[in-house]
């Protein structure tokens, strides 16, 4: 029988983790592991057992690390091959040494994504599940991880498969109809069937794309712009949100830090703060540049947080920013509540419709919780939560879905023009094929290699 070579890599855990795992997969996984393991003889242990012992260098007999070793025999493993996971808690240096000794004893270093590739090739997971693994690795918050998990469990695949089944049924019906040419409305019936299914499938694809739009928010973060005149408290808010030292906000304007964390996690909502560098630039000309800059930043923003200083009367720049953001998903903060008010709700009346005004004081840290609650509520109470599934699509999925839609559009156009049925069937079948590529039912080797090479090592 053909032997698969045994691969090994460090399977880096999500986030900060105290333990590290070296993973092996292949026909000799257990044999290799037992060579470097001091404890029970791994060749004789049951599948799905965890075994305590030490990793040693068999050449010198020296102990490298204290470990727990899981043995997972084929086919009940992630790759469906014999697999071993060496759990080490000795830090990154120790885990490196464990990997080295495993490699020195017969394993080959895995290519990025090779574990998942094997899982896919062995029929353990489908392509969109494999890609979800990639998203999982890159997921930035808990909620994004939930969505990845969902896809990993096959929600996208399930949906796509049911759409393809529906299309296949229609194709079959059309074939049957065509086989009975004695009916004189054969063409008409077939056109109707193809049209109805195309309409329905297109709707469903659009729904997936729509939900994925929200999925993108989870994965990439909600593009958030914090805007306002100089000195209203933008940096202060940034610091509250990022939890950075208060000390970096000073009375001397122009105090800047070179880099600021781009992502903040507000109650599970990933905010990607745009133009944080711009926030910190200050001098007189900024009043003008500020508006220009805000205009640009806002084009990318999913959410705008506009800060006003309620301790000063409304100024022209404030009004410009209020007008600039009026169609935007925005939250307005009336900051510096700890100071004597100069700005009333009545002053703002002409410029706001249903904007959420939140009274804050960065100094006293009041109103921040309300802001966070507002952000959370907007993104979790709305459509995102009510949708039954959140799909996370990568660019390849999105492209395929769009292409499928345009093939279906061809179908719709041709059915309306009453073109010959076999011609319409071709576009219909193309859409069906394109959807199949999402679940990997028809992908070429080259594409596969490209896909899996994007994975981290050890996955």
Output the known binding site: 23, 85, 124, 231-236, 250-256, 275-278, 459
Which residues have CB under 8 Å from 429's CB, separation 6+?
171
Maximal CA-CA distance, the chain = 89
With CB cut-offs between 5 and 8 Å by kind, which of ligand GDP, Zn ion, none does residue 88 bind? Answer: none
Residues contacting 231, CB < 8 A, separation 6+: 253, 282, 309
The item of ligand GDP, Zn ion, none sharing an interface with residue 227, based on CB under 5 to 8 Å by kind, is none
What is the dihedral sign for C-alpha 122, 126, 131, 137?
A: negative
- Of 75 and 341, CB closest to ligand GDP: 341
Residues 327-366 binding ligand GDP (CB under 6 A) are 335-336, 338-339, 361-363
Quick one: 214 or 330, whose CB is closer to ligand GDP? 330
Figure out which of the listed residues 157, 282, 294, 407 binds ligand GDP, where binding follows CB under 6 A: 282
**Choice between 279 and 451, CB closer to ligand GDP:** 279
Q: Does 228 bind ligand GDP (CB under 6 A)?
A: yes
Does the protein bind ligand GDP through residue 236 (CB under 6 A)? yes
Binding residues for GTP: 231-236, 250-256, 275-278
Residue listed under structure tokens 């393809």? 164
221 is a contact residue toward ligand GDP (CB under 6 A) = no
DSSP secondary structure letter of residue 333: E
Cα-based torsion angle of the residue sequence 150, 152, 156, 157 in order, rounded to the nearest 10 degrees: -140
Q: What gap in Å lies between CA 400 and CA 248, rounded to an integer?
A: 47
Are the beta carbons of 244 and 262 closer than 8 angstroms? no
Q: Closest Cα partner for 237 from 379, 352, 333? A: 333
Is residue 231 part of the contact set for ligand GDP (CB under 6 A)? yes
Interface residues with Zn ion (CB under 5 A) are 235
Residue with tokens 């609650």: 373
Binding site feature residues for Mg(2+): 235, 256
Q: Which does 8 bind (CB under 5 to 8 A by kind): ligand GDP, Zn ion, none?
A: none
By C-alpha distance, which of 24, 28, 32, 52 is closest to 40? 52
Query: How many residues sit in the footprint of ligand GDP (CB under 6 A)?
Result: 19
339 binds, among Zn ion, ligand GDP, none (CB under 5 to 8 A by kind): ligand GDP
- Piece of 10-18, 179-187, 229-237, 322-330 that binds ligand GDP (CB under 6 A): 229-237
- Binding-site partner at residue 121 among Zn ion, ligand GDP, none, CB < 5 to 8 Å by type: none
Per-residue b/e over 118-136, b at no fewer than 16 CB within 10 Å? bbbbbebbbbbbbbbbbbb
By beta-carbon proximity to Zn ion, the closer residue of 87 and 235 is 235
196 token code pair: 């109805």
Cβ proximity to ligand GDP, 204 vs 231, nearer residue: 231
- The residue among 126 and 275 lying less far from ligand GDP, judged by its C-beta, is 275
Q: What residue spans of 179-313 are helical by DSSP H?
A: 186-220, 234-242, 276-279, 286-300
Q: Is 242 in the site for ligand GDP (CB under 6 A)?
A: no
Rounded Cα gap, residues 185 and 181, in angstroms = 9
Cα distance between the two ends of the chain: 26
User: Applying CB under 6 A, which of residues 90, 113, 221, 233 lies at the interface with ligand GDP?
Assistant: 233
What residues line the site for ligand GDP (CB under 6 A)?
Answer: 228, 230-236, 249, 251, 279, 282, 335-336, 338-339, 361-363
């Amino acid at each position: 029988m053909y032997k698969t070579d045994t691969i090994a890599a460090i399977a880096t855990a999500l986030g900060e983790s105290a333990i590290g795992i070296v993973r092996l997969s292949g026909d000799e996984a257990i044999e290799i592991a037992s060579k470097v393991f001091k404890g029970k003889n791994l060749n004789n242990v049951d599948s799905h057992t965890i075994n305590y012992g030490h990793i040693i260098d068999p050449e010198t007999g020296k102990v490298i690390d204290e470990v727990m070793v899981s043995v997972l025999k084929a086919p009940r493993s992630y790759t469906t091959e014999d697999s071993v996971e060496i759990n080490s808690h000795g830090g990154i240096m120790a885990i490196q040494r464990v990997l080295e000794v495993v490699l020195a004893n017969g394993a080959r270093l895995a290519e990025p994504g090779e574990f998942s590739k094997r899982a896919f090739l062995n029929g353990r997971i489908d392509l969109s599940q494999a890609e979800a693994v990639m998203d999982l690795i890159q997921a930035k918050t808990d909620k994004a991880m939930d969505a990845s998990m969902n896809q990993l469990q096959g929600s996208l695949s399930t949906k796509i498969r049911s759409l393809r089944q529906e299309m296949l049924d229609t194709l079959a019906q059309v074939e049957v109809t065509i086989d009975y040419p004695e009916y004189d409305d054969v063409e008409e019936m077939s056109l109707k069937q193809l049209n109805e299914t195309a309409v329905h499938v297109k709707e469903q694809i659009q729904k997936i794309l729509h939900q994925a739009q929200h999925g993108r928010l989870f994965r990439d973060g909600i593009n958030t712009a914090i805007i306002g005149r100089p000195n209203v408290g933008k940096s202060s808010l940034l610091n509250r949100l990022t939890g950075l030292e208060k000390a970096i906000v000073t009375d001397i304007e122009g105090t800047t830090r070179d880099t600021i964390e781009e992502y903040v996690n507000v109650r599970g909502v990933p905010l990607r703060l745009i133009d944080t560098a711009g926030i910190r630039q200050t001098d007189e000309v900024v009043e003008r540049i500020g508006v220009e800059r805000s205009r640009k930043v806002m084009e990318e923003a999913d959410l705008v947080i506009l800060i006003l200083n309620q301790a000063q009367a409304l100024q022209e720049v404030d009004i410009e920013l209020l007008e600039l953001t009026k169609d935007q998903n925005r939250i307005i903060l009336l900051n510096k509540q700890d100071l004597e008010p100069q700005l009333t709700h009545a002053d703002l009346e002409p410029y706001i419709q249903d904007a959420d005004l939140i009274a804050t004081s960065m100094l006293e840290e009041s109103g921040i919780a309300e802001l966070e609650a507002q952000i959370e509520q907007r993104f979790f109470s709305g459509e995102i939560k009510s949708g039954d599934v959140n799909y996370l699509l990568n660019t390849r999925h999105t492209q395929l879905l769009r292409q499928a839609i345009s093939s279906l559009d061809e179908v719709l156009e041709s059915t309306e023009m009453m073109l010959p049925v076999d011609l319409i069937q071709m576009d219909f079948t193309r859409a069906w094929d394109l959807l199949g590529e999402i679940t990997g039912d028809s992908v070429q080797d080259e594409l596969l290699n490209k896909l899996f090479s994007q994975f981290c090592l050890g996955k």
